Amino acid sequence: MRKIILLSLALAMVQCKEETPKPVRNDYNGAALGTSYHIIFFSSAEQHMQKEIDSVFTVINQSLSTYMPDSDISRINKGDSTVVVDGMFRDVFELSQTVHGATNGYFDPTVGTLVNAWGFGPGEQLSLDSTKVDSLLEYVGFHKVRLTDENTVSKVNPNTYFDFNAIAKGYAIDRLALLLDQKGITDYLIEVGGEIVSQGTNVFKEKEWVVGVEDPLATRDRTSKLLLRLKDRALASSGNYRKFRIDSVSGKKYVHTIDPKTGYTKNSNVLGTTVIANSCAEADAYATAFMAMDLEDSIKLLVQQEALDAYIIYLDQKGELQEFMTTGFKELVLP
């Protein structure tokens, strides 16, 4: 009798095991937000989510893209004070306020007029001198704008130009992650233009997700400086090593990092920053701010912000390559 019971239990266990569906890997790739995206996730069955993914990018663009003339942000930049912003605009605006305060003003999305003037935005590039830069700085300052109770934007100066590109891509990834979360998907990796959110594990490999941090000194193909284990966190990087322009007349190099305090592009000793945070929008914003901040100030901030980890590549006074890592970041690096 005991053998019969044991045999029955064994058969039941085998049957349950056979009935458990194998996880299905779902892959989505494409172009959006001026770059490429890659999404991998695992589920019990094949999913058909392309329309929903496209919809996320569409609504993000309609709210926050300065490259779309009829987007909400473009209308606001043109001086339309009647635009009622959506929840996404409010999310990004409020997080920008938080990071603006934490970085002592070095993260400032009202720097858009200068981004255009230096040739890194959709607006007109200008010939700049100290007088012109000083005049454009009058439009810059996050303390000069606010969201009203009616969800409209109030500006002290109507010429203030918003540019959320340093946070919008990260925010878009967070919205994609929310989409997967709402579907009950627990294991995924989302990458848009090098910014990443991971959740759970790589089910097929039965390991944590592994991601690369780009080498800022690589002159040809994009190669990884180091590899990280990343679980339930977000990662974003910023650097002047790819996004810059060379003046055709003077031959001078202008990097895309704008110092909102001076109004000038900042070609500092910091070559690249990578930030790990709980949200990709947050990681995106801080990675941008650390490119404009002095290295010492960035390190002080990281000591205070326990939820952030970072890796900063810089040149010392002798011009030699150096690295700074928070303890939490160091623990994620693969040998």
- Position 123 scores a pLDDT of 77
By 3-state DSSP, what share of the chain in percent is helix, strand and coil, each rounded to 5?
Answer: 35, 25, 40
- Position 229 scores a pLDDT of 96
| pLDDT: which is higher, 118 or 174 | 174
CATH code where residue 169 lies: 3.10.520.10
Q: State the Cα–Cα distance between residues 139 and 110, nearest whole angstrom.
A: 7
- 259 lies in some domain: yes
pLDDT band for 228, please (50, 70, 90 cuts): very high
* CA-based radius of gyration for the chain: 23
- Position 222 scores a pLDDT of 66
Got the DSSP string for 43-91?
ESS----HHHHHHHHHHHHHHH-TTSTTSHHHHHHTT-TT----HHHHH
- 21 lies in some domain: no
Nearest to 99, CA basis, from 137, 60, 142: 142
Residue 35: strand pairing partners: 32
- pLDDT tens, position by position, 259-287: 889 888 877 788 889 999 999 999 999 99
CB 193 within 8 A of CB 35: yes
Burial 273-302 (b: 16+ CB within 10 A, else e): bbbbbebbbbbbbbbbbbbbbebeebeebb
Residue 22: strand pairing partners: none
- 5 lies in some domain: no
Q: Specify the residue for token string 């002095």.
A: 294
Has residue 13 got a pLDDT over 70?
A: no
- What is the separation, in whole angstroms, between the first and last Cα of the chain? 55
- Residue 186, Cβ neighbours under 10 Å: how many? 15
- 85 lies in some domain: yes
Has residue 249 got a pLDDT over 50?
A: no
Pairing of strands 145-147, 187-192: unpaired
Residue 227: strand pairing partners: 212
Average pLDDT over residues 205-213: 94
Has residue 36 got a pLDDT over 60?
A: yes
Domain that holds residue 68: 33-330
> What's the Cα-to-Cα distance from 69 to each of 65, 78, 118, 257, 309, rounded to whole Å?
8, 9, 20, 24, 37
Q: State the Cα–Cα distance between residues 258 and 83, nearest whole angstrom.
A: 28
- Percent of the chain surpassing pLDDT 70: 87
Token pair, residue 217, equals 């000194």
- 170 lies in some domain: yes
Q: What domain count does the chain have? A: 1
- 159 lies in some domain: yes
DSSP 3-state assignment of 244?
strand
- 72 lies in some domain: yes
